[in-house]
Amino acid sequence: MARRYYSSIAAQTTLSAGVDSSTATIPVTAVSGWPSSFPYTLLIDKDTVNEEIVSVTGRTGTTLTVTRGVDGSSGVAHSAGANVQHGVSARDFNEPNDFINGTGVVTTALIADSSVTSAKIADGTIVNADVNASAAIAQSKIASLTTDLAAKFPLNVATSPQTASYILDIEDAQNVVEMNVGSANTLTIPPNSSVAYPVGTSIFVVQTGAGQTTIVPGSGVTINSFLGLKIIGRWAGCTLIKRATNTWVAVGGLVA
């Protein structure tokens, strides 16, 4: 639905020459008071058997460019002198009623720039599919993004210092365990039934004491390593990565 233009002072006129049923240009004797913007509606031979509604899409002097037979009317031939007047037709009343009844279609051409504000958009009506992949939304515009990511991938790694042999706890996930023990000691990876780390969990182990730390599997746990499961010495360490329910891999400074 395109906007149409109107004038309250448009004077009636007549065709200055006859036209057939299909020509797209019609000559009139005057255009006094008619709209200066397009399109607008004209009625030719109104209230006769030859009545036709046309849309004027352009004008040069008194020659009009038109779309013939609109709004349910048909293109018919008209004689010179036929009455021509600016007016309205059924569509001018039907279209507003469609919006009143909730059946009208609002196109982008009908929406003024900056007229749609957040106050006009109901909460929850815009979903992921409505956002174009190239929208390039700034991270600062996404509420709680940093907090949510930090909850999944902690930005501050915590350190858990131990002074004796130790069994890993759920709080050790993605953190550092320091084994500060003066004699030989063990660090045990518990079975999934005891501590259900998500697959992909990483735990960093550092031997800070003089006692050698050995990584030990709990009941039913398998630990894969290239050489062995003993940290090679003080200030060395390894990373433990969970690969399956009860399967881990140990990588880093380890010996048999």
Does pTM top 0.75 for this prediction? Answer: no
Count of CA atoms in the C-beta half-sphere (13 A) of 84:
30
Q: pLDDT-derived band of residue 154, with 50, 70 and 90 as boundaries? A: low
Q: 228 pLDDT exceeds 70? A: yes
Note the pLDDT tens digit of each residue in 11-45: 999 999 999 999 999 999 999 999 999 999 999 99
Most confident stretch, 115-119, 148-152, 188-192: 188-192
Which pLDDT band, with edges at 50, 70 and 90, does 100 fall under? confident
Q: Is the pLDDT of residue 156 over 90?
A: no
- The average pLDDT across 211-236 equals 97
Select the more confidently predicted residue: 97 or 80: 80
* pLDDT higher than threshold 70 for residue 90: yes
Place of tokens 């200030």: 235
pLDDT for the residue numbered 153:
64
Instruction: Phi first, then psi: give them for residue 166, nearest 5 degrees.
Output: -145, 140
β-strand pairing of 230-231 with 185-189: unpaired
Torsion angle, alpha carbons of 32, 36, 37, 43, to 10 = 0
Segment 65-88 mean pLDDT = 97
